[in-house]
Amino acid sequence: MSDEFQQDAVGLLEGINSTRAIRRYRDESIPEKDLRDMLFAATRAPSGSNRQPFRFVVLTDSEKAKQAKVLIKQGAESVWRAKKTNDQYDQRSGADSASPKARMARTMDSYVENFDKVPALILPCLVRYREPTPMEGASVYPAVQNLLLAARALGYGGVITGFHHMVETELKNLLGIPEEVFVSCTVTLGKPKGKHGPVRRRPMNELVYGDTWNESPEWAVDPAGTRHTSAGPPRKPR
Ligand SMILES: Cc1cc2nc3c(=O)[nH]c(=O)nc-3n(C[C@H](O)[C@H](O)[C@H](O)COP(=O)(O)O)c2cc1C
């Protein structure tokens, strides 16, 4: 395997603006050189005092990896079943099969059903050296985003989930993860079945303020052609 870092064709800003949650993967394993470059990027992330408390458990196709995927699939099924009911995914606008809500529900159904077949499952962990603080996650989540951005740069896609919570004890036993280690999330990775495209968020003037809360500066204007989403709780009128 070459020790050169691969050249990527996607500009940094373009990559940031098109790193969407990808939940459908082609049935292709990820070559080790690509895993290496993605995990290298993850391990270059910042952390408090540069202590680098992050560790990444990378699960592909070993027997243990398969067992871990099956375990987390069980967590995924129960989390998604509850969310689908609570958030009424198949009612109101979701009753129309062409609605964004119904499409999202189909994507989630297929994601959960195929969870045990994801090409790679990464567990970004944080080795605790003191009692948890409110800033603790900030020493692991930048690494998670680096991982997703590097995946995007190499033509892969992924998504963060919290599906491991329900099965965390069994997972730690299976993989030998010490009790005190914080498993921050799961990240699944693979070649997307669909295409990458621009992320959709709220207009930036709803999200960026100047020196007064809820008042955005004049320069906080989205670039021409930006498409938005109405996802998220309704904003308070200004
Ligand atoms: C903290 C966090 C937790 C998340 N948990 C889940 C999850 O449990 N299951 C899932 O399918 N996606 C999960 N996601 C993915 C989000 O749903 C996704 O990032 C968001 O909807 C934006 O998607 P987009 O970038 O494609 O617009 C999570 C994302 C974050 C940042």
Closest approach atom of ligand 1 to CA 22? 26
Residue 142's pLDDT band (cuts 50, 70, 90): very high
| Total domain count, the chain | 2
Distance 20 CA to ligand 1 centre (A): 9
Q: What is the pLDDT of residue 4?
A: 80
CA distance from start to end of the chain: 56
How far is it, in rounded angstroms, from Cα 137 to Cα 220?
Answer: 28
Mutate to test the pocket of ligand 1, among 121, 141, 159, 168 (most ligand atoms within 8 A of CB): 159
> Same domain, yes or no, for 192 and 220?
no
Please indicate, yes or no, if residue 114 is contained in any of the structural domains. yes
Last residue of a domain, one of 183, 199, 215: 199
> Same domain, yes or no, for 78 and 167?
yes
Instruction: Give the residue, by CA position, lying nearest to ligand 1 atom 11.
Output: 161
Mutate to test the pocket of ligand 1, among 73, 80, 89, 161 (most ligand atoms within 8 A of CB): 161
pLDDT by residue (tens digit) across 18-54? 999 999 999 999 999 999 999 999 999 999 999 999 9
Instruction: Give the residue, by CA position, lying nearest to ligand 1 atom 15.
Output: 160
Residue reference for tokens 């999330």: 185
Strands 182-183 and 54-59: unpaired
Whether 22 and 112 have beta carbons less than 8 Å apart is answered as: no
Q: What is the pLDDT of residue 59?
A: 98
> Same domain, yes or no, for 150 and 126?
yes
CB neighbour class for 132 (10 Å; exposed up to 12, middle 13-18, buried from 19): exposed
CA distances from 235 to 112, 138, 212 (A): 31, 26, 16
pLDDT by residue (tens digit) across 44-81? 999 999 999 999 999 999 999 999 999 999 999 999 99
Range of the structural domain that residue 217 is part of: 200-238
Give pTM, 2 decimals: 0.95
pLDDT by residue (tens digit) across 150-176? 999 999 999 999 999 999 999 999 999
Indicate which CATH number applies to the domain containing 62.
3.40.109.10
Helix, strand, or coil (residue 127): coil
> Same domain, yes or no, for 213 and 178?
no
Nearest to 131 by CA among 173, 182, 175, 172: 182
Closest approach atom of ligand 1 to CA 229? 27
> Same domain, yes or no, for 127 and 207?
no
Q: What is the pLDDT of residue 37?
A: 97
> Same domain, yes or no, for 143 and 213?
no
> Same domain, yes or no, for 141 and 227?
no
pLDDT by residue (tens digit) across 83-133? 999 999 988 888 888 998 999 999 999 999 999 999 999 999 999 999 999
Last residue of a domain, one of 199, 215, 230: 199
